[in-house]
Amino acid sequence: MTDKSKEKTEKDASSNPKEAEQAKPKVSKKDEELAQAKAKAEEYLDLARRVQADFDNYRKRIEKDNAEYRKFATSNLVSELLNISDDLGKALETAPEEDSVFVSGIKAIRGNLVKILENQGVTEVPVDKGFDPNMHEALMVVEGEEDNQVAQVYQKGYMMNGRVLRTAKVVVTKKKEQEAAPVQDEKTAEEQN
């Protein structure tokens, strides 16, 4: 604005005070609308950030679930292969000739199968640490030196990536009970004297 137009505006405002008062509310009304628009924009920005964070959490959860699924997707097939491995082991135990070509072939096949299973994360369930109902299935209880020790393994158990695929079927020990000394009551003891 030029100096002349400023002077004219000031003269008009001073000559007509009502117009000056009406101009002020328009400016303050515009400021109020601008503040409301800024608040609404902040609200939408906050909402967008929350949606983005929720989506990132969802994506991470899905990736974790997919990784877990891929880790155990082959567990049914591996369980079936374990039965074959066990059968090959039993065949080797009952083989009449240890040095025959047939027995060597069976050993090689079983060895390859075991390597494949190990590559898939399969391990045997440990039986030397005592009985654990999460990993062992007790088929029988026999007397032994200590409680809850594995005395015999009927069928090996297997784990895949820390999860039990098949429990080990075992015989568990129970500590021998001490025989109680016979108790004689006082009357019987007196009669004997």
Residues 150-166: tens digit of each pLDDT:
888 889 999 998 889 99
Q: Do 90 and 40 reside in the same domain of the chain?
A: no
pLDDT tens digits for range 90-135? 888 888 777 788 888 889 999 999 999 999 889 999 888 888 889 9
Does residue 183 lie in a domain region?
Answer: no
Does residue 190 lie in a domain region?
Answer: no
Residue 43 has φ and ψ, to the nearest 5°, of -65, -45
pLDDT band at 190 (very low <50, low <70, confident <90, very high): low
Q: Tell me how many domains the chain contains.
A: 3
pLDDT band at 76 (very low <50, low <70, confident <90, very high): confident
Beta bridge partners of 163: 160
> Could you tell me the CATH number of the domain that includes residue 136?
2.30.22.10
State the Cα–Cα distance between residues 52 and 36, nearest whole angstrom: 24
Pull the structure tokens for residue 108.
Answer: 């090689």
Pull the structure tokens for residue 51.
Answer: 């949606």
Does residue 186 lie in a domain region?
Answer: no
| Contact call for residues 82 and 166 (beta carbons, < 8 A) | yes
**Exposure string over 120-152, b if 16+ CB within 10 A, otherwise e:** ebbeebebeeebbeebbeeeeeeebeeebbbbe
> Which pLDDT value is given to residue 51?
95
Does residue 189 lie in a domain region?
Answer: no
Does residue 10 lie in a domain region?
Answer: no
> Which pLDDT value is given to residue 8?
52
Which residues does 9 contact at the CB level (< 8 Å), separation at least 6? 1
Q: Do 131 and 173 reside in the same domain of the chain?
A: yes
Whether residue 184 is predicted with pLDDT greater than 70 in this model: the reply is no
